[in-house]
Amino acid sequence: TVLQGDFYTAVDPQTVAYHAQALIVIDQSGMIERIIESTDADYQTSRQAAQIKDQLVEVPKGQVILPGFIDLHLHAPQWPQAGLALDKPLANWLNDYTFPLEAKYRDLAYAKQVYPDLVQNLLANGTTTVLFFGTIHNPANLVLAQACMDHGLRALIGRVAMDNPEQTPDYYRDASSQVALQATEDFIQQLTALGQGQALAPIPVITPRFVPSCTPTTLQGLGKLAAQYDLPIQSHLSESDWEHHYAIEHYGHHDANVLDHFGLLTDRAVMAHATQLTLTDEQLVADRHTAIAHCPISNAYFGNGTLATRRLMDRGIKLGLGSDISGGYSVSLYDNLRQAVTVSQMRTDGVTNQDQGEADARISIRNAFYLATVGGGQSLHLPIGQIAPGFQADLQLVQERPLAPSDPIERLERLLYQTQSNHIQAVMVNGDFVKV
């Protein structure tokens, strides 16, 4: 396929490149092979050659091409409660709403009802890759994996481990550390078998729910499995005061140190929230090359604070965006990138009457676009999030609003603020258009 149209791709946290009427040449495997600029000598001949072979797709005027968005933190089983009980403290929300809901996925029929709907909603909002938390139930997690392959969503999926009897309910817990570790290893094998020979085979992820919900034996075993199978890791890190104090009381350390001690703070790890990190914790995260999933909507409800997004970006810490369904209520990364900008304003001294000690914590919508695309790809170590040779053709075609500014970058800014899911005209994953 050869796409012809106007596209944007983030180059670095400050810079977005605009390409007018370029040709995006996509190979058989779904990879972007070449970008041909309208000023290149072979533009016309390449365009005509593609047209003759019936491979040319001309993106209509008024639509722009963006990289598909990458969601670094989403609890698939929580989709049915997106928007519920957001006025509760985290511990109550988990115990009274979230754990009872997640327990329902022992019933496969329920998983089959929810997961395809979630996957279709993600694609319809321009999200093309997701790092998912599942539940403790492997059959249901495999339903999620199948739904991703059926609908064409790139996915990484974790079987949640949670075996601490003090912090998990009897009806939703791994019966022992041995069960948690065995079921994790089973899931790695089952998912690998399911994805055999598939272009979009989901990647298994080691997933301790968070420090309070796991026993030390389980955390240690999961660290070993991550090393043994060379897998990505995901968890929650320093999300709330409560979680923060739990780690200090039980381990005498911050949860970043606890995860690190067990081999879970690696350069393949993606840690959600991180609103309570101290500067020393941040240094540890930087030293380990661990990525942070910024979940700006969720943090407003459960994060007990805001993320130091500007500072983390300036320190070169890997950072992407997460919807955190259902700590966050919106599956749209457009909503989340807008919220990321909004909360960064609130952190900045002088904007509110509660100074946080940061003269300028602001990020721009271009910075947020970088996080939703390039930042996500770097965090996952996958060739995604950019429209450039060597990257997967994961794209979204977005209809502009009327009255678009003529300056290309202003045009992108307005588009990012105005886009709703009904403006997303088409989505491509791995070189194939998917149904939206």
Would you tell me which residues interact with Fe ion (CB under 5 A)?
A: 324
**Min. distance of Cβ 130 from ligand GUN in angstroms?**
15
- What is the rounded distance in angstroms from the CA atom of residue 151 to the CA atom of residue 96? 32
CA 327 to centroid of chain Cα atoms: 14
Q: How many helices (H) and strands (E) does the chain have?
A: 16, 16
- What is the rounded distance in angstroms from the CA atom of residue 239 to the CA atom of residue 22? 43
Nearer to ligand GUN, 86 or 384 (CB): 86
Nearer to Fe ion, 281 or 324 (CB): 324
Q: Would you count residue 302 as binding ligand GUN (CB under 6 A)?
A: yes
Considering only residues 208 through 247, tell me which ones interact with ligand GUN, judged by CB under 6 A: 209-210, 236, 239
Task: Tell me the residue ranges of DSSP E strands in 274-349.
Answer: 291-294, 319-321
Residue 239 interacts, among ligand GUN, Fe ion, none and using kind-specific CB cut-offs from 5 to 8 Å, with: ligand GUN
Q: Would you count residue 98 as binding ligand GUN (CB under 6 A)?
A: yes
Nearer to Fe ion, 163 or 324 (CB): 324
Residue 302 interacts, among Fe ion, ligand GUN, none and using kind-specific CB cut-offs from 5 to 8 Å, with: ligand GUN
Residue 329 interacts, among Fe ion, ligand GUN, none and using kind-specific CB cut-offs from 5 to 8 Å, with: none
Please report which helix (H) or strand (E) contains residue 185, including its range: helix 177-195
- What is the rounded distance in angstroms from the CA atom of residue 259 to the CA atom of residue 200? 30
**Min. distance of Cβ 298 from ligand GUN in angstroms?**
5
Q: Would you count residue 324 as binding ligand GUN (CB under 6 A)?
A: yes
**Min. distance of Cβ 133 from ligand GUN in angstroms?**
7
Nearer to ligand GUN, 223 or 327 (CB): 327
Q: Would you count residue 75 as binding ligand GUN (CB under 6 A)?
A: yes
SS3 call for 176: coil
Tokens of 369: 């676009």
- What is the rounded distance in angstroms from the CA atom of residue 404 to the CA atom of residue 62? 9
Residue 17 main-chain phi, psi, to 5 deg = -95, 140
Q: Would you count residue 159 as binding ligand GUN (CB under 6 A)?
A: no
**Min. distance of Cβ 94 from ligand GUN in angstroms?**
6
Nearer to ligand GUN, 43 or 110 (CB): 110
**Min. distance of Cβ 327 from Fe ion in angstroms?**
5
Nearer to ligand GUN, 54 or 249 (CB): 249
CB 256 within 8 A of CB 237: yes
Q: Would you count residue 294 as binding ligand GUN (CB under 6 A)?
A: no
SS3 call for 420: coil
Q: Would you count residue 332 as binding ligand GUN (CB under 6 A)?
A: no
Tokens of 169: 């309910």
Sequence-distant (6+) residues with CB within 8 A of 91 are 242
- What is the rounded distance in angstroms from the CA atom of residue 432 to the CA atom of residue 436? 12
Count of chain residues binding ligand GUN (CB under 6 A): 11
Query: Which residue's entry shows tokens 């991550």?
Result: 226
- What is the rounded distance in angstroms from the CA atom of residue 366 to the CA atom of residue 409? 9
HSE (side-chain half, CA atoms, 13 Å) at 337: 32
Nearer to ligand GUN, 99 or 369 (CB): 99
Residue 98 interacts, among ligand GUN, Fe ion, none and using kind-specific CB cut-offs from 5 to 8 Å, with: ligand GUN
SS3 call for 67: strand
**Min. distance of Cβ 48 from ligand GUN in angstroms?**
52
Residue 163 interacts, among Fe ion, ligand GUN, none and using kind-specific CB cut-offs from 5 to 8 Å, with: none
Nearer to Fe ion, 324 or 335 (CB): 324
Tokens of 123: 């694609």
Nearer to ligand GUN, 19 or 75 (CB): 75
Among 4, 164, 207, 298, binds ligand GUN (CB under 6 A): 298
SS3 call for 33: strand
CB 97 within 8 A of CB 81: yes
**Maximum Cα interatomic distance, the chain, rounded to a whole number of Å:** 69
Residue 370 interacts, among ligand GUN, Fe ion, none and using kind-specific CB cut-offs from 5 to 8 Å, with: none
- Residues of this chain that bind ligand GUN (CB under 6 A): 75, 94, 98, 209-210, 236, 239, 298, 302, 324, 327
